[in-house]
Structures are given as structure tokens and as C-alpha cells.
Amino acid sequence: MSRKSVSFSIKEINSDLAQFRDLTVSIGAITRERWDEPMGPSPFPSLTTLRPWDRRLLSRYKPFYMPFCDLCCLCTYGKCDLTGTKKGACGISMPAQQSRIVLLAACIGAATHTSHAREILTHTIEALGRECPINVGGTGVEVEAPITRLVCGIKPGTLGDLEPVLDYCENQLTQLLAVTHTGQEGNSLDFESKVFHTGMIDHLGMEVADIAQVSALGFPKADPESPLADLGLGTIDTKKPVILVIGHNVPPAAAIIDYLRDHGNAGDVEVTGICCTAIDLTRYAPKAKVVGPISWQLRYIR
């Protein structure tokens, strides 16, 4: 898919129908599709598009709720006691409250991954431009963006083609968070349906992030012989200066590697990581090391 904005100005037009002066025409985007497959029934689905299918799944595989808290403390009407069949001031029940908490947790994770994807995509577009082609493995990969194709109905060819996908993710996350506001939703299964939707958005955002960084940062592209990464605290040479990167965002970590290489110090400093950045860093620099999980973060820092 190719999207280009068009804008042009006309100083003066005289015709039998009308006269125009200083006319400016701006078209947000002209789309040229490069995919021969017909469009599916639900591109860029809303919160309710797949709801009937969600309800069918939830009627067959019913959720089981084990409350971790008998109170709802999410608004100033409470605290509300939801034990037994009691309801909160807004009318919410215990099953709906548990589903709402799950939806909030899912939105937190999806927002984090989508924010990471936006930062990665913005960084790579600034560095390489919107027309930078997507390359996640050449002939070794038959479908370059399976989730994007399935959910959005587009076949991305450049980094710029990924922008409307992230716009969609961010729009849906805003609506999903609005659902968790006081009094907006009261049915536990509707909350669960939106949890499914959030999970789909989460995977979509993660796919955009990985496509962008694999294409732009030179990560291994469907290479079965890519180097193995060293894992564990014991693999670190503590006699050298140690840099520990933590979190999701790989561009700053990649910049550290680039700086050390440019100054001839790549072998003199240990670059290690925790969590997602660590894994992505080993894809960028095989000599980087994964210390371990984020649950041991304070122990590693000490």
C-alpha cells in the first residue's frame, strides 16, 4: 500500500460557472494498493465489529472469576463493597469489576507496546524516510506482516505504510480506556470481548515495532544461523566497565553500540540488558548479553 498527500494552489480561475482566486486544494492521502487479494469484510475493526464472535467463544468457554479484592476503589463514589451479589454505586457487579481490571491491565500492556512501536517507527522514518522498503526476510518470508494484513486489510511495502496501522492502534486504545470509566460498561462478557480486542491491538502494535526495527536496524532476517546470545549474570566480565540497558526501547541501546564501535571501544565495554531491550540488543550486536528477567532488576543493579 502506498499513501501520498497531495496539495496544490491555483492563483485564479475564470469560467462560465464561477471565478476563483487564491484557491488551495489539499488531499490528505491518495492510496495505491499493491495487493491483488480482495478486501475482507472487516478491515480496521471497531470494538464491536468482532463482538458476536467473541460472545460465541465466551458462551462456550465461560470465564471463571476469583476476586482478588472485594472492593472497587477506582472512583470517588467508593470504596464500594462488591461481596456476594452487592453492586457498586455505578451498578457494577463483582464479575464485571474483575473483567474491568483485566481490561485495564491489558490496556496498560498494549499502550506500552504501541508507544514503543510509535517511537521506533518515528525514529526509523526520521533516519531513513517513509519510502524505506520493508524487509523482514526476502524470499525466506512469505507473509511480511500477517497480523497487519489480517486485521487492517493492507499489505505494507514501506515504513510509511505502517503509520495508519499505528494510528488505528492508538485510536482503539483510547476507546478501550474510555470503556473502563465509571458507569460506561456493566456486563462482564462485554468487558471480556474488549479484552480480546485489546490483545489483538497489542499484537498489531508489536508487529509494527518489529517490522520497523528489523527493516531499519539490520536485525537477522529469517536467518536460521543467526548467532546465539549469552545469557546470565555469570557471562559478564566485571573487570570491564558495564552498561546495563533496561526496558523496551532499542534505538538508544543501538546508539550505545554504534558509539563504542565508532570509537574503537566495542571490546573494552560490556553492554548488557534486561527485558525486551536486551533481546533486541543481541539481535543488533551479537556480543551483547542478556542479564536476565526484569523481576531481578534491583539485584542486578546492586
Residue 220 DSSP class: -
Pick the last residue of a domain from 182, 217, 252. Answer: 217
pLDDT tens, residue by residue, 199-238: 999 999 999 999 999 998 888 887 888 888 888 888 888 8
Residue 178 has pLDDT above 70, yes or no: yes
Number of domains into which the chain is organized? 3
Count other C-beta atoms under 10 Å from residue 38's C-beta: 6
Kindly state whether residues 160 and 81 are assigned to the same domain: yes
Give residue 4's pLDDT band: very low, low, confident or very high (50, 70, 90).
Answer: low
| Residues 179, 82 within the same domain | yes
How far is residue 302's CA from residue 292's CA, in Å, rounded to a whole number?
14
H helix or E strand, kind and range, residue 206: helix 188-217
Examine the domain organization and report whether 75 and 137 are in the same domain. Answer: yes
Task: State yes or no: pLDDT of 30 exceeds 70.
Answer: no
Q: What is the pLDDT of residue 123?
A: 92
Q: Phi/psi at 35 (nearest 5 deg)?
A: -120, 125
- CATH code of 269's domain: 3.40.50.2030
Rounded to whole angstroms, the maximal C-alpha distance in the chain is 85
Find out whether 183 and 201 touch, Cβ atoms under 8 Å. no
**Domain containing 90 — which CATH number?**
1.10.8.190
Range with the poorest average pLDDT among 14-28, 141-155, 164-178, 195-209 = 14-28
Q: Domain of 18?
A: 2-31
Residue 283 maps to a domain: yes
Contacts of 36-45 spanning 24+ positions with Cβ under 8 A: 39/153, 40/150, 40/153, 43/151, 43/152, 43/153, 43/154, 44/151, 44/152, 44/153, 44/168, 45/151, 45/197
0.95 exceeded by the pTM? no
The stretch 37-57 carries a mean pLDDT of 91
Grid cell of 192 as nine digits: 471480556
Strand ranges, E, within 62-221: 71-72, 80-81
pLDDT for position 5: 61
Same domain, 196 and 153: yes
